[in-house]
Structure 1
Amino acid sequence: MTSNPEPRPDWEGFLRALLDTLDAHMPAEERAVLLRAIGAQIAALSPIPPEATLAGLEARINERLAGPRWGSVSIALDSDGPALVLTHAAPPSLPHRRDEDRAWIAPVLEGLHSGWIGAQPGAEAEVQTHLVSSSEGRMVLRYGA
């Protein structure tokens, strides 16, 4: 018995065309700024209510990520300083030679997680999320100074 591959999302063609167009017309850093803003806007359109615990925040974020099949996140306190470490498993990817390092999704996730965490009680507006590392099927981000 052979299994059928999972169907590709309907948005893949649109997203590939969008990213190719951005690549053709914008320097990499400008593109990253735009993609971070898109991530922040996604967070604003799908806000997470105030959560009293990291476990509660993690659960709400994972609920939001499950709908579009954007993977899952685990959140831990950073032992090296006042920050959170977010391990994002199975982030979206495009099977494309120019997306080997997932350069398009990293800034989107930075903006998305900054938006969601930054809207929580006690969060400081100037604190941002930054990619720490990326490997096949996993991205580690840090939210903190």
Structure 2
Amino acid sequence: MTAKADSRPDWEAFLRALLDTLDAHMPADERAVLLRAIGAQMAALSPIPPEDTLSGLEARINERLAEPHWGSVSIALDSGGPALVLTHETAPVLGTGQDNEGSWMGPVLEGLHAGWIAAQPGAEPEIQAHLVSAERDRFVLRYGA
């Protein structure tokens, strides 16, 4: 694999091979469970310190997302119920043979954001993030009941 101009390794070939292999060997629902668990593990490996405010949490998450160039997130209260709405923009998206739109990223982001939020003071770990909508590089998630 080659290094990019900014000295980051180029993981695209590896990631494409991994995703194509998952597609070939796992049903879509099982693949989503695995990808969600990978996102949660990513959150555990790069924890967010306790934050008392949504703006503080959003800032810390965006710091974590900036280093690997994983886009940014905005967090808002859901006016329709006790939940948070997370809008993740410019997520790294890589289409595969069976997934041209890169929808595999949705479950990864569900696990990643749920893991970070669940570790915050007062959070209920059993609550999950659920993908509400996905466009090419914009994912909207709802975290709450």
Moved over 6 A (4+): none
**Unaligned ranges ≥5, structure 1:** 1-5
Identity across aligned pairs (percent)? 76
Show structure 2 runs of 5+ residues with no match. 1-5
Distance 1:122 1:76 in 2: 17
Q: Deviation of residue 97 (structure 1)?
A: 5.3
Using a 3 Å threshold, how does the CA distance of structure 1 residues 140 and 9 change in structure 2: closer, same or farther?
Answer: farther
Counterpart-to-counterpart distance in 2, 1:8 and 1:41 = 22
Q: CA RMSD in A?
A: 1.9
Verify the 8 A CA contact 1:93 1:99 in the aligned structure 2: no
**Is residue 135 of structure 1 aligned with residue 135 of structure 2?**
yes
> Where do 1:15-94 residues align within 5 Å?
15-94=15-94
Shift of 1:94: 1.2
Q: Partner residue of 1:3?
A: none
What is the Cα deviation at residue 84 of structure 1? 0.2
Tell me the secondary structure at the aligned position of residue 112 of structure 2.
helix
TM-superposed deviation, 1:100: 3.0
Q: Which residue of 1 aligns with 2:112?
A: 112
Structure-2-length-normalised TM-score: 0.91
Please give the alpha-carbon distance, in whole angstroms, between the structure 2 residues aligned to 1:131 and 1:69: 21
Separation of aligned partners in 2, 1:97 and 1:8: 25
Deviations for 1:55-114, whole angstroms, at most 9, x for unmatched residues?
000000000001111100000000000000000000111154543332211000000000
Secondary structure of the 2:21 match is helix
1:95 to 1:22, Cα distance in 2 relative to 1, 3 A? closer
1:127–1:15 Cα change, 3 Å:
same
SS of aligned partner of 1:102: coil
TM-score by length of 1: 0.91
* Alignment partner, residue 3 of structure 2: none
